[in-house]
Structure 1
Amino acid sequence: MKAFISTLLAFDPKQRNLVGGALGVVKGYYGCVEAQGRGTLHCHMLVWVKGGLNPNEIRDGIIRDHDVEFQQRLLSFLDDTISNSIPPDPDPNLSVPASKHHACSVRGADFNLPTDHFVRARRKDMHHLVQRSQQHTHTRTCYKYCKPPQKMVCRFDLDPGNVRPESTVNPETGELCLRCLDGMVNNFNDTMLEAIRCNMDIKFIGSGASAKAILYYITDYITKSQLKTHVAYAALELAVRKLGDYNSNEDEATTRAKCMLQKCAHAMISHQELSAQQVCSYLMDFEDHFTSHLYKNLYWTSFEAFIDDSPDEEVNMAQVQSEGNPEEVSIGVNAQGKLIATCSQVLDYELRGDSFSHVCLWDHTAQVEKVVKKHSKVNDERDKEDAICDNDVLDPAIEVKSLTNEGKTPRTNVTTISMAKLC
C-alpha cells in the first residue's frame, strides 16, 4: 500500500510534486483496510485530486453557468481515467505469461523486449488481466437481497444491458452519466490495474443521484457493525445461560445486570471471526488504515452534556453554587503507578483564555495543540508524567477511576497553548 501511495498516486506530503500520478496531483487520501468474507484483505480509499470540484460546484458549472467547455473537459478526463471494457486481443497467436497462467499470478510484459513486440505484449497482457480480474460472473450472492416476486437484479449493478456508448451530462439535474462499453466489467484504471494486478473498482464522486448513492454507500459502509447479527444473538443467549448459574439470593439485581452486560461483551468479542490474513496483519503490526493528514477527535457528547447541565443565565448562580453538586474528576495511573489527572476537552475549551476567546469549538479542536511548558530538568519529568492528551490511549491494564471533588476545580496541567494548522 505504501508503494501504491508513493508511486501510483505519487502523493507528496510537501505538495511539491506538480506532475502527479495516475489520477493527477493528489492532495489527500484516506484508506481503510478490511477483510472480505473469505478473509482476503482489501482497502477502501478516498482520494482528493488537486483541482477537483465538489458536487455543488460541478452542478453550478453545468446547470447555472451552462459551461459546455467545462463539461467536455471533465468528461474527457473521466473517460481517460476510468475504463470498463475488455481491451481487444492484439494478436491471437501471441503468447505472454498471462496466456498460460492466471493473469494475477504473473508479472506483466517484459520491458527488455523490442519496442514493437513490447507494445503488443503489453496489450495482450492487459486483455487477459481485465478478462480474469474485472469481468463479473453472476452468483447467488448477487441476488441475496432480492425477494420474490421482485425482479432479480444484481446488487453490484452489473448487467449485460447496462451499456452506454458515450458519457453524457443531464443539463436539468447536472448528473454525470459515464460511458459503459461492457455492463459486466468493473470500472478500472489501466495504469493501476497493470501495476497491482488484482480486482479493483474506481468511481468518481460527481453530482446528481449517482454522487448521492456513492456518498450513502460510503457512510453506510464505514458505520456498519463488524459483528454479524446471528453471532450477536448467539452470544447473548450464551451469556444469559451462564448467568443462570448464579444464586439469585447472593447477588443484587444491579450486580446481576452488570454481570450480564460484562458477559455479553466478553462473549461477543470471543465469537468474532478473524481470518488468517487478519491475524498475520495484526501480529506483523501492519497498518489498518492509511491517511495523508492528521485528524483530531471531537468528543461531542461531552459538550452536549455540559450544555444540558449548565444553568440558564436567568438562574441565580449563588443558589446553584450553594447546592454543592459534586463534580466528577477522571484520573488515571501512569506507568510508574502514580495518579494523574486526565485531560478534558470541555475544560480545555472553557479555560482557553482571552487570547483564544474568538476561536470556535471546531477550530479550537482542529488547530490548537497543547504542549508541555518548559521548566527546569526537575520539573520537566514531572510535566511529562502529568500530560495526558485527549488522543492518547490508556493501557487496558491501567485502572481509570472517577473521584468526587466537592466545591473544587480540578487541577489542570501547567501547559502552554499554541496554534498549529494540523489539517
Structure 2
Amino acid sequence: MNTFTSLLTYLIRCNSDVTSLLSGTAIKAVISYVTDYITKSPLKTYTIFDAVRSIFDKNSEFLNGSSSQKEKARLILTKIVNSLTGKMEIGAPMACAYLLGHKDHYTSHRFEPFSWKSFVREAMRPWHPDNNDNIVGFTDKVTVRKSEDGKYIGISPVFDYIYRPKIYEDVNLYDWIRRSRKKAMSKKRKEELKELQNEEENERNIHIKDEEDNDTQFAAEHPQSKTHEVKLVKEKFGVVPNFIGGQPPRKDQGNREYYCATM
C-alpha cells in the first residue's frame, strides 16, 4: 500500500503517494518515472494489431458458437478496448471521464484568452491610420459571419467594447473583458425591440422607454446590434484574462508612444 499524508490528501483532494527522497539516486529515479509517465507515446501499430489478434485467438470458440452476431461483436469489441486500454496504461476513471464529457482538470477560476494588440491597434488608429500595423506589429483578425438578412458582417471583440451599451460607458477595458457576456437575443426579445421601434408615441415617451428596454443592446453602429445583447456579470463570476499576442511593451525601452497607448 502506498504511503500517504492525511493533510496532503485533504489539500489536493486526490490520491497521493508520499515518499521521502534522501538520496540523489532516488530523486533521479522519481524524475525519470514521472517524465516517462506524462510523456507516454501512443501504441505502435504492430502492438495494436497484436492485441486484436490475441483477442480473436482467445475467443475462437465463442466466435464459432451459437450466440447472435450482435452479442459476439459487443463482447469482442469490449475485450479489444480493455486490452488496448491496459497496454496504454489509461486508468478506468480517466476513460470514464472522457466518455462522459467531464473535464480533465479543474481550476478555481475561469481563464479566457485576450488578444490585447487588437485594442492597442484600434486606439492608435486616429494618429497612425496608414502605418498602424508596423508600429503594433499585428494585423487585426475579424470573423466574418452571415447575418439573418443574408449579408456578411465582420465581428471583433473590439467592436463589442467600442459600441457597448450606454450604461457601460464608464466600464474600463479590463473589467469589460472580465465580466461582459454577449449572447444572442431570444425571438421574444427581438419582437419586443421591433415593436418598440414601430410605436407612434411622442419623442419624450419613446426616449424614456428606449432607455429602459434597450439598456443591454449594443449601439446602432455595432454589426450585431439587432441580434445580440451584452450584460456584465457579478464580480465573483468574472474571468481571468489570459493576455496573448506577445510580451507587452516596456517603459524603459522601445517605442514610448506604443507603450503609452498600451498602458
TM-score, L = length of structure 2: 0.35
Larger RCO: Structure 1 or Structure 2 (Cα < 8 Å, ≥ 6 residues apart)?
2
Larger helix proportion of the pair: 2
